[in-house]
Amino acid sequence: MSSLNAESTAYRSALDVVRTVEPRVADAIAAELADQRASLKLIASENYASPAVLLAMGNWFSDKYAEGTIGRRFYAGCRNVDTVEAIAAEHARELFGAPHAYVQPHSGIDANLVAFWAILADRVEAPALRKAQARQVNDLTEEDWFALRRELGNQRMLGMSLDAGGHLTHGFRPNISGKMFDQRSYGTDPATGLIDYAALRQTAKEFKPLVLVGGYSAYPRKVNFRILREIADEVGATFMVDMAHFAGLVAGKVFTGDFDPVPYAHIVTTTTHKSLRGPRGGLVLCQPELADQVDRGCPMVLGGPLPHVMAAKAVALAEARQPTFADYAQRIVDNAQALAEGLLRRGVRLVTGGTDNHLVLIDTTGFGLTGRQAEQALLDAGIVTNRNSIPQDPNGAWYTSGIRIGTPALTTRGLGTAQMDETADLINTVLSQTKPGVGPDGAPSKAKYVLDPALADRIAKQADELLAGFPLYPSVDLG
């Protein structure tokens, strides 16, 4: 049986089984595939995992509790969970050249929480235990415990500002990390849009953070992690990098030397579903001195592991160790650069004037639009993106002044640099033909916009034609 038949048979059978219980769910699953096939997906944080990854998740591993770590569980009967967790961790260590890997986090925020609490345990809790000559927290007196809790909640974090491309989980108030840490941000040089390492160093020296966080979700350039580590060492900070967005570029050896965070950071977190192209989830890599604290992630901050997702992580990480993945990673960047060049050639304003990675940030003020207006107009034309703040954003975090676009998903689908130029043309046509709208009172609106529906339909058809040569999940025929 060919692999096409095997995959189609697997999915058809699975949907038939679901349909016998709740047909609407089976229909929604099938409709999701149809929608994904039909859209020009430029969301920088999304991708398409392989059928092998997706199928590894849909099974009886989901039924198993496995709190604890490999060979040291709080439940009996975890032999097979141990097997898949060990395989996933081994692939993660080998792929990234990391001494230790922890593959249980359910998401990026969970991976970051594990990292934050591993750092706090290492830097704050362990010294307090030693001072009190206590083996563990339950051995502390009420007075020592109260003092330790206060100290744990009174530490400092320095991370990239949100409008420069940082992430909410890097110490911002609406997120738990902002409630845990006293946070200060570093930003980018207003003239270039690039990280200002001298200003960052100065801020670190003044603020003296316990944790220096590198990594971003909307910064279109490489980051020099060697310099960040030097700064962390100068101020006695633990250096953590959240590489969720660019893990695929690290895995594929596009980011090497000073731009690979793994050799420089004490601890690295990532999601597994973005450029890494695995299942939705997270993982943590760390130096040996933090390994024991990281392994306490569950039950300290994580619920029971998701063994079915760890199985899928193992498959995805095995895929990322294949030589073809390095080629994929390079094509992600080639495509992002072609997209950026296509937009620049058409006069579109880009934050930092281009890209070194998988994402491009359009400054929509060049079109007289907010990010929200631009996002919705593009969606009308079948182009799926997301609005994003830009440095010194005049429209705030809800309406924003930017559109973030990324190439991991379309690259998986097989589109190349020629199609990126066509994509740039479609985006520019929509945005240049969209006008800001007015609210019911006639005042300018940051949400309403005017776009000729006939033009939106024409662009959506062109997007369909562009995608027609690059079928998504070609081996899956649901009939």
Asked if omega into 209 is within 30° of 0 (cis), the reply is no
Which of 110, 164, 159 has the alpha carbon at shortest distance from 397?
164
| Catalytic status, residue 242 | yes
Which residues are CB-neighbours of 443 under 8 A, at least 6 positions away? Answer: none
From 12, 149, 280, 435, the catalytic residue? 280
By beta-carbon proximity to ligand DSN, the closer residue of 55 and 251 is 251
From 41, 221, 274, 387, the catalytic residue? 274
Which residues are CB-neighbours of 267 under 8 A, at least 6 positions away? Answer: 115, 118, 119, 238, 239, 240, 241, 284, 285, 286, 287, 290, 294
Q: What is the DSSP letter of 133?
A: T
Nearest residue to ligand DSN, scored by beta-carbon proximity: 45
Q: Is 45 in the site for ligand DSN (CB under 6 A)?
A: yes
Q: Minimum CB separation from ligand DSN for residue 108, in Å?
A: 6
From 46, 64, 65, 222, the catalytic residue? 65
Q: Is 203 in the site for ligand DSN (CB under 6 A)?
A: no
Q: Is 361 annotated as a binding residue?
A: no
Q: Minimum CB separation from ligand DSN for residue 404, in Å?
A: 8
Any bridge partners for residue 404, and if so which?
361, 386
Measured between alpha carbons, how far is 364 from 255 in angstroms, rounded to an integer? 29
By beta-carbon proximity to ligand DSN, the closer residue of 121 and 180 is 180
Amino acid (1-letter code) at residue 187 = G
| Catalytic status, residue 67 | yes
Strands 40-41, 383-384: parallel, antiparallel or unpaired by DSSP? Answer: parallel
From 270, 271, 352, 370, the catalytic residue? 271
| Catalytic status, residue 412 | no
Q: Which residue has the tokens 């800001």?
A: 436
Count of residues touching ligand DSN (by CB under 6 A): 3
| Catalytic status, residue 41 | no
Among 105, 108, 171, 297, binds ligand DSN (CB under 6 A): 108
Q: Is 400 in the site for ligand DSN (CB under 6 A)?
A: no
By beta-carbon proximity to ligand DSN, the closer residue of 155 and 388 is 388
Which residues are CB-neighbours of 126 under 8 A, at least 6 positions away? Answer: none
By beta-carbon proximity to ligand DSN, the closer residue of 108 and 252 is 108
Measured between alpha carbons, how far is 417 from 400 in angstroms, rounded to an integer? 28
From 19, 46, 64, 67, the catalytic residue? 67
- Given phi > 0 = left and psi -120 to 50 = alpha, else beta, which region is 257? left
From 125, 242, 356, 393, the catalytic residue? 242
Amino acid (1-letter code) at residue 255 = F
- Using DSSP, state whether 181 is helix, strand or coil: strand
Q: Is 165 annotated as a binding residue?
A: no
Q: Is 166 annotated as a binding residue?
A: yes
Measured between alpha carbons, how far is 4 from 377 in angstroms, rounded to an integer? 37
Q: Is 167 annotated as a binding residue?
A: yes
| Catalytic status, residue 65 | yes
Query: Exposed, middle or buried: residue 231 (CB in 10 Å: 0-12, 13-18, 19+)?
Result: buried
- Using DSSP, state whether 391 is helix, strand or coil: coil
Q: Minimum CB separation from ligand DSN for residue 442, in Å?
A: 35
Q: Which residue has the tokens 């998740």?
A: 57
Q: Minimum CB separation from ligand DSN for residue 473, in Å?
A: 22
Token pair of 186, please?
């570093």
Q: Minimum CB separation from ligand DSN for residue 39, in Å?
A: 16
Measured between alpha carbons, how far is 455 from 461 in angstroms, rounded to an integer? 10
By beta-carbon proximity to ligand DSN, the closer residue of 242 and 295 is 242
By beta-carbon proximity to ligand DSN, the closer residue of 45 and 293 is 45
Q: Minimum CB separation from ligand DSN for residue 251, in Å?
A: 18
Measured between alpha carbons, how far is 426 from 382 in angstroms, rounded to an integer? 10
Show the binding pattern over residues 239-278: x = contacts ligand DSN (CB under 6 A), - = does not.
Answer: ----------------------------------------
Q: Is 217 in the site for ligand DSN (CB under 6 A)?
A: yes
Q: Minimum CB separation from ligand DSN for residue 301, in Å?
A: 17
| Catalytic status, residue 221 | no
Q: What is the DSSP letter of 285?
A: E
Residues assigned a catalytic role: 65, 67, 242, 271, 274, 280
What are the residues binding ligand DSN (CB under 6 A)?
45, 108, 217
Binding site for (6S)-5,6,7,8-tetrahydrofolate, by residue number, is 162, 166-168
* Annotated binding-site members: 162, 166-168
